[in-house]
Amino acid sequence: MRIAIVILNWNGEVLLERYLPSVVRYSEGADIYVADNASTDGSVQFINKNYPQVKVIQNKINGGFAKGYNDALQHVDANIFCLLNSDVEVTEGWLSPIIELFAKNNKVAIVQPKILDLLRKKYFEYAGAAGGFLDQLGYPFCRGRIFQSLEKDNGQYDDIREIFWATGACMFIKKEVFGVLGGFDEDYFAHQEEVDLCWRAKNAGHKVFYVGTSKVYHLGGSTLSNMNPKKTYLNFRNSLFSITKNLPRRKALLIILIRLLLDGVAAVRFIFQFKWNHCFAILRAHLSFYRQFPKMYRKREKANFILKYYVTKSIVWSHFVHQVKNFNVLVKD
């Protein structure tokens, strides 16, 4: 089983200098690539000088996360791709439990490890935590992270279990599955394209798993922080894209209508918080969604849509009304 670790980079020389050493040190037996998205800093020169064993793939343009990986992975020969953010520090033995799961269960197509916060190592990290899920309205959240509430890692998620979506910060996916699914949807540019990919994989009958016996530390926010209106724009728009593409027609249209109304509530909330840029980001997200709705509708999968895609009816209601901050309180396994 050949593993290829592919790190997408854009002007991340500082991040590569800090975090690439752990990947090289603890990834014995795997091929390591850096897919460079047309950087203008010294990233490529740094790698060539200091890590000649790391292969560099130079993309012609910065097409974001989705296109960057789609272009780069065409040049990678492996059974399993590990898509790894440049701001991730891996740990000793992190690959073994994941390789073992792939070997034991051939229905497993996508896997993520435990994602902890690099700056607060006893806490889960926002992007992925202990595996991703959806509520009935298509809002994504994680075990260990509900909106901005992050749980402390007390070993409560040291299990191996099926999840709904795996984080793009550290995602293992079979090359064959990635190819059949057509890779990431490049219209997303960045953010939530991994939710869409996993949703399409689930609709096609594949399984997505979390392995809590493998852990990595993620800095997070190195490309776009949560305070950046562009991230608000991408998250609100791309979530609507995923609902349009991956649910039965009537259900998708009903949920989109509800989501548009709830987005309006979120915009008003931003106004009261004097976050005008985020309010306008939601407006721009809706306008972009309206323009691209026909295109997204045509992308709907021909496979059977899974109806049990959610684990709770409304994460928004549970969190903001009932103050639920812990996954194990929300969902009783």
Condensed to tens digits (0 to 9), the pLDDT of residues 57-89 reads 999 999 999 999 999 999 999 999 999 999 999
Could you tell me if 85 and 136 lie in one domain?
Answer: yes
Condensed to tens digits (0 to 9), the pLDDT of residues 97-128 reads 999 999 999 999 999 999 999 999 999 999 99
Within a domain: 224 = no
What is the chain's mean pLDDT, rounded? 95
Within a domain: 223 = no
Tell me what pLDDT residue 301 has: 73
The stretches of the chain forming alpha helices (DSSP H) are 13-26, 43-50, 64-73, 96-104, 175-180, 193-203, 229-246, 249-272, 276-298, 315-320, 327-330
Assess whether pLDDT exceeds 60 at residue 223: no
Cα–Cα distance between 111 and 80 in angstroms, integer? 10
Could you tell me if 185 and 295 lie in one domain?
Answer: no
Within a domain: 245 = yes
Average pLDDT over residues 207-223: 90
Count helices and strands in the chain by DSSP H and E runs: 11, 13
Tell me what pLDDT residue 287 has: 98
Assess whether pLDDT exceeds 70 at residue 224: no
Assess whether pLDDT exceeds 90 at residue 332: no
Within a domain: 116 = yes
Cα–Cα distance between 278 and 258 in angstroms, integer? 20
How many domains is the chain partitioned into structurally? 2
Average pLDDT over residues 15-36: 98
Instruction: Give the CA distances from residue 331 to residues 66, 134, 143, 245, 307, in Å, rounded to whole numbers and listed in that order.
Output: 31, 12, 9, 26, 18
**Contacting residues for 203 by C-beta, under 8 A, at least 6 apart:** 246, 301, 303, 304, 305, 306
Cα–Cα distance between 286 and 280 in angstroms, integer? 10
From first CA to last CA, the distance across the chain in angstroms is 32
Could you tell me if 142 and 202 lie in one domain?
Answer: yes
Cα–Cα distance between 276 and 229 in angstroms, integer? 9
Q: Is 132 left (phi over 0), alpha (psi -120 to 50) or beta?
A: beta
Average pLDDT over residues 221-233: 75
Could you tell me if 312 and 166 lie in one domain?
Answer: no
- Amino acid 1 reads M
pTM, two decimals, is: 0.95
Residue with tokens 């034991």: 104
Tell me what pLDDT residue 221 has: 65
Average pLDDT over residues 194-222: 94
Could you tell me if 54 and 188 lie in one domain?
Answer: yes
Could you tell me if 210 and 240 lie in one domain?
Answer: no
Condensed to tens digits (0 to 9), the pLDDT of residues 284-313 reads 999 999 999 999 999 987 767 998 899 999
**Radius of gyration of the chain measured on its C-alpha atoms:** 19
Could you tell me if 206 and 322 lie in one domain?
Answer: no
Q: By residue range, what is the domain housing residue 201?
A: 3-218
Could you tell me if 9 and 138 lie in one domain?
Answer: yes
Lowest mean pLDDT: which of 141-150, 219-228, 283-292?
Answer: 219-228
Where residue 159 sits, what CATH number does that domain have?
3.90.550.10
Tell me what pLDDT residue 23 has: 98
